[in-house]
Amino acid sequence: MAARAAIVVGVGAQSGLGAALARRFAREGLCVVLVGRTLERLELVATDIRANGGKARVAVADVTNEDEVTALFNTLEAPETLELVAYNVGSNVMVPSLEMHAADFEDMWRQNALGGFLIGRQAIRTMLPCKRGSVIYTGATASLRARPGFMAFASAKAALRAVAQGFAREFGPQGIHVAHVVIDGVIRGDYARERFAGFVKAKGSDGLLELEDIAETYWTLHQQPRSAWTHELDLRPFKEAF
């Protein structure tokens, strides 16, 4: 019998949310497909999962390309075993609005909204015959409000939120749990340490979101009984103002 399966889209650094989600799902016995743009990074995470007794394989794919997304799901050994897909794509850059190039604005939309739609559509197509499964999207503070310098990112994340809502309203009644998680704060990981070292230091030991705690929340969402599903929740450190 084929193992229960999960797909995590947007796996980069070993100390990143995509990797943390993959590790958490693998601990529950799921065979996790790690999807990203860099084979070497994917293999590092997969090797770590296997070393700890989990099952993982990797797939390099451009999630804004419809054909590549279709091909990704076609690699599943047994589509009926797919029970969880996490979409964790979308880089954040700060650029003043009047200096933002149209191509960069479009690229951010493609990563978030288009990629989220293509992955979500194919995931739901795969899950619908069994009328069960979870699709979880990673959002951000910018999903709810735009701030100077982050207009492109906010518009892309707001669009992704709309994609999640649309799927949830249409396919929730058919057994597919679609959730959107607003990450309202900075995650303690390689991305923040490399780009915002001063900010990370100023926040202190309790000022950042911990990878394992976020991953635990995603797993909890997946485990919710259908009589009490959450569509959207926000996560932030207890010291974070909001």
Write down the domain spans for the chain: 5-235
Pick from 12, 238, 29, 239: nearest CA to 138: 12
The Cβ-side half-sphere exposure at 55, using a 13 Å CA radius, reads 11
Q: In order along the chain (242 residues), what is the average pLDDT of each group of 10 residues?
A: 89 93 98 96 97 97 97 93 95 86 94 97 98 97 91 96 98 98 88 69 82 98 98 94 84
Per-residue confidence (pLDDT) for residue 195, from 0 to 100: 66
Query: CATH code for 5-235?
Result: 3.40.50.720
* pLDDT the model gives residue 91: 77
The whole-number pLDDT of residue 211 equals 96
Residues 63 and 52: beta-carbon distance below 8 Å: no
Q: What is the pLDDT of residue 202?
A: 74
Distance in angstroms between the alpha carbons of the first and the last residue of the chain: 47
Is the pTM above the cut of 0.75? yes
pLDDT at 163: 98
